[in-house]
Structure 1
Amino acid sequence: MTAKLILASGSPRRKELLQQLHLPFSIQVSDLEETFNEQDSPENIVMSLALQKAQEVAKNHFSSYVLGADTVVVSEGRILGKPVDEQDAISTLQSLSGKTHQVMTGVAIIFGTNIVNFYERTDVTFWELTQSEIERYVKSGEPMDKAGSYGIQGLGAAFVKEIHGDYFSVVGLPLARTIRELRSIGFSF
């Protein structure tokens, strides 16, 4: 019997990405209150958050591969979370307009006593955005549940001038590296 894969995330984007690979998996969302040291680097924060999610689920699934992930958007050294309201989303998008920011996705995979924890960083450059296109985008509702107030896989794609790094990491899960790391600790599919 092959060990199962459990996604420790309720993200519809991560679910879609794993489905795209035709991987059999189940979802168990961690209800852990996420904590991190704000003085830590964004890289360490995103890896820590992914690990916390995976550990919370893995403690009840010792014989399964548990995959946790977390994504943050970083601009000028500041982590940009999900917007608290429409005005926050507008302000965030204004701050990203015409600039390059970083998107980091941390991943943690736990299988028994094996733990793999890594992150991928992608640089994303936005075009100069007009106030009307920002407001129209925010009115669509799309940015309201996304770190950095945009989704590269949706309407927010119109803002992206270029990326350097893994596109799928910006969406929420660096697929190619995740598959390789799963294989490195014995996962087969």
Structure 2
Amino acid sequence: MQFVLASQSPARLRILREAGIDPIVCVSEVDEDAVLEALPHASAEEKVRALATAKGHCVASAIVEGRINVPEAGKLPRECVLVACDSMLESGGKLLGKPHDSQTALTRVKELSMSQATLWSGHYLVHLRENTAGWEILANSAHSCSTKICFGAISEEEAAAYVASGEPLEVAGSFTIDGLGGAFIEEIHGDHHNVIGISIPLVRTMMADLGLKWTDLWEHWNPQASN
């Protein structure tokens, strides 16, 4: 069985490789803003789950319709587990995605100083198999999880330096825990993998609910890929 990651996130790819999974990466072309605009009154949990579902469905449909060819790695088993994710930070009653620009990132970093926030992540899993007629979707499921984050005091100088590094611009909530931003996070409650981008304990449970074994994915593990 092969793992397909429907995300271009380097952090998610790194987590999977460190966990013994060497995934194929297939990036979706979902209009995230359009998905959110259709859910103006949804909760944070509902929004991240909807975004993950849209991304996963997009890639899975492209595989089934032959618009994306799953590349072979030796003799690739004709069976895949595809996972898509999306994350947002909820703080002060606001849901924060990627800031994209320096001023927005700086404002957010300052606001998060000495605060508590919740990182929400949606996960969408699809089980696919290839037969003589092509790829087919056997089952799918969507779940979400959350992790509490406690930020330390962040000075004006530190906030400016962090934003100047460029790291906060394309990450949910303007913070990472596995990079420069980790120095400002003093405590978390919940799965730390989730804060980085993908909850591998949740994915393992989702697979088990569909009768699939996480350990079957280790067959294609390349130890060199995680170094």
Q: Give the distance between the partners of 1:158 and 1:137, measured in 2 at CA.
A: 10
C-alpha spacing 1:155/1:24, structure 2 compared with 1 (3 Å): closer
Which structure 2 residues correspond to residues 83-102 of structure 1 after superposition, within 5 A?
A: 83-102=99-118
TM-score (norm 1): 0.93
CA RMSD of aligned residues (A): 1.4
Alignment equivalent of 2:81, drawn from 62, 65, 68: 65
CA contact (8 A) 2:89 2:117 kept: yes
Shift of 1:178: 1.0
Q: Give the distance between the partners of 1:71 and 1:175, measured in 2 at CA.
A: 14
The corresponding residue for 2:173 is 148
Q: Give the distance between the partners of 1:92 and 1:38, measured in 2 at CA.
A: 22
Shift of 1:86: 1.2
Task: Provide Cα deviations, 1:63-94, integer angstroms capped at 9, x if missing partner.
Answer: 53210100101112211121132111110011
CA contact (8 A) 2:87 2:97 kept: no
Q: Give the distance between the partners of 1:129 and 1:23, measured in 2 at CA.
A: 36
Alignment equivalent of 1:81, drawn from 71, 88, 97: 97
Kindly, what percent of the aligned residue pairs are identical?
30
**3-state SS, counterpart of residue 201 of structure 2:** helix
Shift of 1:187: 3.1
Q: Does 1:139 align with 2:160?
A: no
Q: Could you list the runs of 5+ residues in structure 2 that have no partner in the other structure? A: 65-78, 128-136, 217-227
Shift of 1:38: 2.5
Shift of 1:130: 0.6
TM-score (norm 2): 0.78
State the one-letter code of the partner of 1:58.
Answer: A
Which structure 2 residues correspond to residues 158-173 of structure 1 after superposition, within 5 A?
A: 158-173=183-198
CA contact (8 A) 2:48 2:122 kept: yes
Alignment equivalent of 2:152, drawn from 116, 127, 134: 127
Alignment equivalent of 1:44, drawn from 46, 50, 59: 46
Alignment equivalent of 1:180, drawn from 163, 182, 205: 205
State the one-letter code of the partner of 2:93.
Answer: G
- Answer with 147-156 or 107-116: which moved more: 107-116
Q: Could you list the runs of 5+ residues in structure 1 that have no partner in the other structure? A: none
The corresponding residue for 2:134 is none
State the one-letter code of the partner of 2:95.
Answer: I
Computing the radius of gyration over CA atoms, which structure comes out larger, 1 or 2? Answer: 2
State the one-letter code of the partner of 2:98.
Answer: K
CA contact (8 A) 1:102 1:121 kept: yes
CA contact (8 A) 1:58 1:64 kept: no
CA contact (8 A) 1:73 1:148 kept: yes
Q: Does 1:24 align with 2:22?
A: yes
Q: Give the distance between the partners of 2:164 and 2:22, measured in 1 at CA.
A: 36
- List structure 1 runs of 4+ shifted beyond 2 angstroms: 60-64
**3-state SS, counterpart of residue 82 of structure 1:** coil
CA contact (8 A) 2:13 2:23 kept: no
